[in-house]
Amino acid sequence: MKTILSQYLPLAAVVVAIGVLVFSPSCANTTTPPSGGPKDTIPPVLVKYYPMRGDTMIATHKTQLSMTFDEFVVVKDVQSLFLSPPLEKAPKYRIRGKSVIVYFESDLDSNKTYVLDVTNAIADNNEGNMYPGYAMVFSTGRHLDSMMINGVVQDCNTLMPVKGATVMLYKDHSDSAIFKKRPDAAIKTDDWGYFCLRNIQDTVYRMYAIMDMNNNNIYEADNEQVAFVDTLVRPSIKVNDSLPELKKYLMTDTVACLARKTEYELNMFKEVPSKQMIVNKERLGERTAYITFMAPYAKIDSIWMTGIPAEKLITQFNLEQDSLEIWVNDPKPLPDTLFLNVDYLKTDTLGNLVPTVEEIKLSKPRQTAVAKSSRKDIKKEDTTTVFTIDAKPENIEQYGFVIEFKYPLVQSAFDSLEFRYVNPKQQEFTDTYTVEQDSLNLRKYIVRPSGKLLPGYEYILKVPHRKFVDINGFFNDSSEVKVTLPNDDKLSSLSLVLSDVRNKYIVDMLNEKRDQTIRSFTIDTDTTLLFPYIKAGKYSIRLTEDINRNGLVDTGNLLEHKQPEKVKFYKLEDGNTLIDIPEMTELEQTIDVGELFR
């Protein structure tokens, strides 16, 4: 039998080799790359860690924490390796195989509960799948703190969640603590602006949130945003790892993330600077300049230019009174350097506002300081009154035609404007109009047609030649603008019936992302607002309570315990703040403003 097998073994080997060539044609196809299989979408899994959650009597010197995963990982964001309460320096780490080792450059405090949070910190090495997160809880003493506080941090104007804010608790209730000390407990907000401060002491705290730009866990008012809770807070919930608020979710799991309960809402804002001084100045042209102040509502006693009569100066503050425009009403050539003197209240080294006279040197811009060498160097704006006419079809009914001159006028003839319209039958008519000067910009004028504007009609406003003269002594050229109201059958409209209006409110229609204002109104009585010519889409209605009735959305002040002016979004019955407006629809919504802000 062995002899027979030995005779046929060489032949069997040849047959096998031929079979491989015949039935494996892909081996010879060098143009087709090998398949790598389906893409890995599974996050890393934590399989081992030290210390165990709830361990006590952990060493304070040269402490090391470790997390081992089922695959190789990387630390995507070292700032998200966050220790509470924070040390002077942030945690460090190194990778050892499939483990992340976290260590500290200074000793931990004794008899203290610590939480190392790794949300948004770790991902797998190949596909970058984010690990949902883990909270490593341990104590350097015999006792483990067991209380918790949760909530959300949101932008004060859009109420959108703020990611990466540092929420801080202080047992020191003094106003200066946030400026000088690291907190007694802290945590970073996730993608949904959500936070949960776990395993904290059962005591009374001050609660703040900041956008910690330099990660030092101390508030720096000049360049950071802040939020605070008006009252002292005390935790009322005991830690239980089965609570949804303590679980770690993938940030793409919208249902689970939104289902978490929130005890506190913190509205984040940027404080206005507390110091007052002139911070910028520029001469924009032959007869125009501006100065800006560090803080709003600058208090100026007097202003003058050396060698120029006071009556020749025209000045204008912006609404916030932190920027002042200055013009010289004199067509004669001016010196290359002007000296502006400002007598105002300036913050001294002790932080007090004191009367100060500051001389500011204003040099002529380079392009105007160089003489025009030939006729080809002279542009149209060098010899004429420059102005623009702005009119948009979708909001001309509200805002009218806006004429803005580059320089203040010394001579005007608004009764010479020509306003006419053309109906769909191409018949042309003239009509009357009104003109008003903008209350905040002396160079801006609003022209409003007297009659009702109609869809499909074309409206024309013409500014005739040589009817206006600016401070340079130049006359205007003629200009004409045409606007046709939208006549698209697919457009929709929204009517807002606002009742129980007890204060002054700014009402804005925003786009779905809340980053663009479609139209804005200011109201102080019950009224109905019409938002016409709306394209199909999703929109939000924002109401801002203008408490001091200054027409501005005022920010907060931490030391004065003043919150930013209150903002609310209109919600549908299902709690959704987005109004889905389809094509060819006339919607009406009723808002009880008093109830909304109660």
Specify the higher pLDDT residue, 21 or 103. Answer: 103
- pLDDT confidence band for 5 (50 / 70 / 90): very low
400 pLDDT higher than 60: yes
- 232-285 confidence digits (pLDDT tens): 999 999 999 999 999 999 899 999 999 999 999 999 999 988 899 999 999 999
Q: Determine the pLDDT at residue 383.
A: 84
* Burial class of residue 158, CB neighbours in 10 A (0-12, 13-18, 19+): middle
Side-chain-side CA neighbours of residue 575 (13 Å): 1
Coil/strand/helix, residue 183: coil
327 pLDDT higher than 60: yes
Mean pLDDT of 159-185: 96
The strand pairing partners of 370, in sequence order, are none
Mean pLDDT of 214-236: 95
375 pLDDT higher than 80: no
CB-based contacts of 194: which residues, under 8 Å, 6+ apart? 150, 151, 152, 161, 257, 260, 262
- 461-515 confidence digits (pLDDT tens): 999 999 999 999 999 999 999 999 888 888 999 999 999 999 999 999 999 999 9
Residue range 381-484 in CATH 2.60.40.3710 = yes
CA distances from 496 to 298, 509, 532, 569, 570 (A): 38, 11, 11, 13, 11
DSSP string computed for 401-470: EEEEESS-EEE--GGG-EEEEE-TT--EEE--EEEEE-SS-TTEEEEEESSPP-TT-EEEEEE-TT--EE
Coil/strand/helix, residue 501: coil
557 pLDDT higher than 70: yes
Coil/strand/helix, residue 171: coil
Q: Determine the pLDDT at residue 331.
A: 86
Mean pLDDT of 566-573: 94
Count of positions (residues) in the chain: 598
Q: Assess whether the region 46-139 and the region 284-369 belong to the same CATH fold.
A: yes
CA distances from 401 to 199, 435, 442, 482, 558 (A): 61, 10, 16, 10, 42
Domain 46-139 falls in which CATH fold? Immunoglobulin-like (2.60.40)
Q: Are 316 and 441 in contact (CB under 8 A)?
A: yes
Side-chain-side CA neighbours of residue 417 (13 Å): 23
Instruction: Spell out the domain ranges in the chain.
Output: 46-139, 147-268, 284-369, 381-484, 492-596
* CA distance linking residue 254 with residue 111, whole number of Å: 38
Q: Determine the pLDDT at residue 579.
A: 95
Q: Determine the pLDDT at residue 38.
A: 67
Question: Residue 27 has what DSSP assignment?
Answer: G
Specify the higher pLDDT residue, 487 or 593. Answer: 593
- What's the pTM value of the predicted model, to 2 decimals? 0.80
CATH among 2.70.150.10, 1.10.10.10, 2.30.300.10, 2.60.40.10 for 492-596: 2.60.40.10
Residue range 147-268 in CATH 2.60.40.1120 = yes
- pLDDT confidence band for 553 (50 / 70 / 90): confident
12 pLDDT higher than 80: no
Q: Determine the pLDDT at residue 376.
A: 55
Q: Determine the pLDDT at residue 14.
A: 40
Q: Are 490 and 583 in contact (CB under 8 A)?
A: yes
- 101-148 confidence digits (pLDDT tens): 999 999 999 999 999 999 889 999 988 899 999 999 999 999 999 999
18 pLDDT higher than 50: no
Q: Determine the pLDDT at residue 596.
A: 94
At 544, the amino acid letter reads T
- Of the candidates 87, 52, 84, 221, the one whose C-alpha atom is nearest the C-alpha of residue 149 is 84
CA quadruple 306, 311, 314, 317: dihedral sign: positive
20 pLDDT higher than 50: no
2 pLDDT higher than 60: no
What's the whole-number average pLDDT of the chain?
Answer: 90
* CA distance linking residue 447 with residue 399, whole number of Å: 9
- pLDDT confidence band for 13 (50 / 70 / 90): very low
* CA distance linking residue 51 with residue 67, whole number of Å: 9
Domain 284-369 falls in which CATH fold? Immunoglobulin-like (2.60.40)
- pLDDT confidence band for 19 (50 / 70 / 90): very low
At 155, the amino acid letter reads D
37 pLDDT higher than 80: no
Q: Determine the pLDDT at residue 341.
A: 97
- Of the candidates 63, 31, 67, the one whose C-alpha atom is nearest the C-alpha of residue 47 is 67
Q: Determine the pLDDT at residue 28.
A: 39
Determine what percent of the chain is predicted with pLDDT higher than 90: 81
* CA distance linking residue 2 with residue 4, whole number of Å: 5
Q: Are 100 and 66 in contact (CB under 8 A)?
A: yes
Write down the residue that tokens 């003109």 correspond to.
Answer: 435
Q: Determine the pLDDT at residue 366.
A: 76
